[in-house]
Amino acid sequence: MDRFRRFDEAYYHRFYDSPQTRVISVEEHANLAEFVFAFARYNKVEVKSVLDVGAGTGLWKYWIEKHQKGVQYTGTEVSQVMCKKHGYLHRDIARWRDRKKHDLIVCQGVLQYLPDPDVAPAVANIAAMSRGLVYVEVTTRQDLRERCDTTRTDTDIFVRNGSYYRGILSKHLVSVGAGLWWVKDRPPPFFELEMAG
């Protein structure tokens, strides 16, 4: 995992800890977490276990511990520093697949760091470990051009079109909007027009 050496203390301080340069605050992230869990509740998707792929500074971990007591949380990271600090499993999602399935899998800000040969295996592993709901956030070429504050966003990524990710994700998952996906091998709890394709 030497290729992930860049994910050191300095990286996390710049993009997640420092108020001057962080890409998201704890409060902003809390809104996202509340949305995802409210979406699950609304659709009667029971979330008892969460797998957080690329768990970073623990935004999901600490929000879940505070607001979703009783939910079993598992975090994975390629960063040795973050694993030691937060107790995550040291795993590379392109090469690891847990035997257990999880009610919610979070993959936020991970796929854009993987080289082309690793993206499809990573998505296949995520889908195989999912009991249904998956949240995916990836920075795309259009995001960098039109949406991201590039003074705060890490631009040292694999810059790809959204269609690239949609093509890979849609082999295993169906989009239900706002970054949420549902595994294709389970009956969806959504109405037809709530799903893409």
Which range of residues forms the domain containing residue 37?
Answer: 2-194
- The distance in angstroms from the start CA to the end CA of the chain is 36
Give the torsion sign (CA, 54, 57, 60, 62). Answer: positive
Tokens linked to 188: 């969806």
pTM, two decimals, is 0.96
CA atoms within 13 A on the CB side of 113: 21
- DSSP code, position 113: G
What's the CATH code of the domain at 123?
3.40.50.150
Strand partners of residue 182: 133, 174
Tokens 């993959």 locate to 107
* pLDDT of 3: 72
Q: Give the total number of structural domains in the chain.
A: 1
In order along its 197 residues, the chain shows pLDDT tens digits of 567 889 999 999 999 999 999 999 999 999 999 999 999 999 999 999 999 999 999 999 999 999 999 999 999 999 999 999 999 999 999 999 999 999 999 999 999 999 999 999 999 999 999 999 999 999 999 999 999 999 999 999 999 999 999 999 999 999 999 999 999 999 999 999 999 97
d(CA 139, CA 145): 10
Q: Give the CA radius of gyration of the chain.
A: 16
Q: Give the count of beta carbons closer than 10 Å to the beta carbon of residue 183.
A: 20
Tokens linked to 147: 């949406």
d(CA 92, CA 77): 7
